[in-house]
Structure 1
C-alpha cells in the first residue's frame, strides 16, 4: 500500500466535503476577477507599486489606493486555500478519481501563475498586454473550476459525465463558446485601450493599447460591439434550436447565457451611448461578462459529446429468418 493510500485510509474525504471545496473555488475564482476589475477602475492598480511588498519599506498598505490594491491581493489567500483544498481533498477522496486530482492541480497552478503574472503586471507599470493576460488567465481558471463542479455534481447525482446529443447541437454549442471567447478577448482590448489605465488614483502614467494609433479605443469598441451582437443573435438562435430538440440539459445553461448576454448588452449600451463610459458601468460590464463565461462553459459541458449514429438494420437478416 502506498503512502497516499495510507493517508486516504487514515483521513478519508467524502464526496460531499470535496464538493463544498469545488463550489467554494468556483465562487472565489469568479469573485477575484470582479474585485480585480474594481482595483483598476478605482485607479488603484499601482497603489502598491512593488511586489510582493506593497512599497519599499512595508508589506502592508499606508493609504487609500494602496488599501484597495492590497485588499485584492489578500483575496488571493482564500482563493489559494480553496484551490489547495480541491487538490488535497481530491487526493484523499474516497472513491478516488484521477481527473479530480488533475483539475485540483490545475487550479493550484493557476493561482501560482496568476500571482506571478500579477507581480509582473505591477512591476511593468500595468503594461496593457500583461493586464489583458492577467484577465484571460482568470477566464482559463474559471474553465477548470466550472469543469470540476460539473463533474462533482454529475457524479453525486449518478448522471453521465458527458451527455450525448446530436452532433449539430454539440458542435453549435462548442462554436458558440469559442465565439464567446473571442468576444471576451476583444473586450479586454477595449478596456486596455480605454480611459481606465489603473493609475489615475495614484497619478501614475500608464501606457494604453494602441494597435490602431490614437483611434484604437473607438476602433476596438466598434469591433467588440459587432462581434458581441453576432454572438448574442447566435446565442438566442441556439436557445431556440435546443428547445426544438428537447435538450433540456443544454436548454437551461443556454437560458442563463441569453439572460447574461441581454444584461451585458444593456450595460454596454448604457456605458457607451448614454452615460459616456463611467467606471461603475465598466465594473458591472466585467462582472456580467464573467458570469456569462461561467454559463458558456456550463453549456459546453452540458452539450457533452455527439451521440453515436444509429446502426442501420441488416436488410438480409429478416429474409434469412423468414427462409429458415
Structure 2
C-alpha cells in the first residue's frame, strides 16, 4: 500500500504513523498502548465498584442469546451498559496493540527487540480477554478478578518497556548510575509489585465485589488492610532511599525526576488510601485508588528504565576503494 508522502489529512497521517513509521511515531504508539492498557484497568475497576460485574452474565455473549445488550429481566440496563462498554474497550486496546506490531515490523531498519515486545501486546490482550470470560463464568471469584488486574499490570509493563526501548539503541545495557543504585531500583519495583498483589487481596476482601452473587476472600479486612499499609510504608521508604542516593551521587536528571515523580504519586496514593478507609470505602475513592495504583506501577517502571541506557550500535562502514586496494 502506497500512501501520499505530503498529505495533511489526519487519517493519512495516522496510517503513515504505523505503515511508514519513524522512531517518533513508534514511541507514540508505544505510549498510546501504555495509556489504553492503564485506562482499561481503571474502567475495569469501575465495573466492579458500580456492581456491574455480571451486567453481561455470559461470555462471549452479553446475554445467553445475544452478543450485544438486550433487555433482560434479571439484569439492570445500566449495569449491562457499563459491563458491555468495558468489553468494547478491549477492541480499542487490541487495535493499538496491532498498530504497535505493524510499526515495529515496518521500521527501517527492523529491530527484533521491538518486534518481540510489540507482539506480546496482541497476544496478551487476547489472553486477557479469555481470562475475562473465566471471570464471568466463575461468578466474579476474587482470585480470577485479582488475576485480571495483575495481567493488566503485566501488559502495562510490556508496553512501557516497548516505549523505553524504542527510544534507545540495541547495544548492551550501559549503567548511568552506580550498580547498587540500580539494584535498589529493582528491589523497589519488586516491592511495588508485592504491594499490588496484596492490594488485590484487600480488594477481594472488601465490600465492592462487582455483584451481590460474587464470593469474597476469607481474610480479616482490617488485618490485610494494615499489612497492605505496612508494605506501602516500605515502598515509600525505598523510594526515598533511592531518591537520596540519586541526589548525593549527582545522577542524571531524568533518573532523579523519575524517582521524585514516583515519590509524589505514592504520597498522593497514601492520602487517597487512608481517606477511603476512614470514609468506609466509598466507590469513587476506590476507583481513584485503582487509578493511583496504576500510576504508581507506571512511575516505578519509569524509574527502573531511567537507571540504564542502551547506545545505538554504529552502522557498518564500507571500506574506501583505497583501503580495499591496499588489502588486496
CA distance in 1: counterparts of 2:262 and 2:168, whole angstroms: 20
CA contact (8 A) 2:101 2:119 kept: yes
Aligned position for 1:194: 206
Aligned mate of 1:255, from 252, 257, 260: 260
**Alignment partner of 1:245 is 2:237:** no
Show CA shifts across 1:20-46 (max 9, x none): 221211111111111110000100000
Aligned CA distance change for structure 1 residues 162 and 128 (closer, same or farther; 3 Å): farther
Change (3 A) 1:27 1:159: farther
1:318 match: none
Q: How does 1:26-175 map to 2 (within 5 A)?
A: 26-62=34-70, 63-155=77-169, 162-175=174-187
**Cα distance change of structure 1 residues 164 and 77 upon mapping to structure 2, 3 Å threshold:** same
Paired residues in the alignment total: 285
SS across alignment from 1:148: helix
**How far apart are 1:159 and its partner, in Å?**
10
Report the alpha carbon displacement of residue 266 of structure 1 after superposing the two structures with TM. Answer: 0.2
Cα distance in 2, alignment partners of residues 175 and 25 from structure 1:
26
Q: CA deviation at 1:160?
A: 8.7
Identify the residue that residue 272 of structure 1 maps to in structure 2. Answer: 277
List per-residue Cα deviations over 1:260-299 (Å, max 9, x = no partner).
10010000110112x1111111110010110110010111
Cα distance in structure 2, aligned partners of 1:232 and 1:12: 43
Q: TM-score, normalised by structure 1?
A: 0.84
TM-score (norm 2): 0.83
Superposed CA deviations along residues 188-246 of structure 1, whole A, max 9, x for unmatched, are 100011100000xxxx4110011x4xxx2222101101111121122122211111111
CA RMSD of aligned residues (A): 1.9
Structure 1 residues 161, 77: closer, same or farther in 2, change over 3 A?
A: farther
- Residues in 2 aligned to 1:218 and 1:55: alpha-carbon distance in whole angstroms: 37
Residues 162 and 44 (structure 1 numbering): CA distance in 2 closer, same or farther, change over 3 Å?
Answer: farther
8 Å Cα contact 1:151/1:161 also seen in 2: no
> Given that residues 15 and 94 in structure 1 are in contact (C-alpha distance below 8 angstroms), is that contact kept between their aligned partners in structure 2?
no
Q: Choose between structure 1 and 2: higher helix proportion.
A: 1
Tell me the distance in 2 between the aligned counterparts of 1:164 and 1:64.
52
Structure 2 residue aligned with 1:217 = 221
Native 8 Å contact 1:180 1:231 kept in 2: yes
CA distance in 2: counterparts of 1:129 and 1:22, whole angstroms = 30
Structure-1 separation of matches of 2:283 and 2:174:
41
Secondary structure at the counterpart of residue 130 of structure 1:
helix
